[in-house]
Amino acid sequence: MSELKLITTYKNELNNYSLEHLRYKSEETVWSIGQMYDHLILVAHEYLDNMETCATLNDEHPLGKTEFGEHLYKIGGFPPIKIKLPDELNTPPNNSDSKDDLISRMDQVIRRLSQWESKVDTINPNYKVEHGGFGWLNAREWYDLVGMHFRHHLRQKDELEQKLVK
């Protein structure tokens, strides 16, 4: 499934949730569905910002990905494990957006991806921005990482949905 189709599916599925569902937390340390969406949106914009930075660079960067970054792109996605970020990077996501806010924010991600879909491969693949865990990524790799990140959270989304009080 393409990045745009996957993210559009996420957006459309927001219509299945009430505001209570979006904000429901089964445990203090577990995110709500709304928090997961907030996280996905923020990270997508961060990745797209880095992709756009690649488009503005003029100097080629010779370094490549880390070992984990190489593995990630070789398998085409994150391994099916829960990833715990360091505490300084693990601020709990926002849990106060309305359904309309989340839909609007998802539309922004979809618009940005759509705008770059046909242009991303015209950017010099040696123009790179460093990712803290995956190493030096070019514009195409940043673009693809958006979809990989959304796919990674599908399992979490299913788990959160199963805990909802219907």
pLDDT digits (tens, 9 = 90+) for 27-83: 988 999 999 999 999 999 999 999 999 999 999 999 999 999 999 999 999 988 777
The CATH number of residue 42's host domain is 1.20.120.450
Question: What is the reported pTM?
Answer: 0.94
Query: How many distinct structural domains can be found in the chain?
Result: 1
Q: Is the Cβ–Cβ distance between 144 and 2 less than 8 Å?
A: no
Contacts of 33 (CB under 8 A, 6+ apart): 17, 21, 22, 24, 157, 160, 161, 164
pLDDT digits (tens, 9 = 90+) for 101-157: 999 999 999 999 999 999 999 999 999 999 999 999 999 999 999 999 999 999 999
Beta bridge partners of 137: 129
Q: Which amino acid is at 94?
A: N
First to last CA, the chain: 29
Residue 71 belongs to what domain range?
3-162
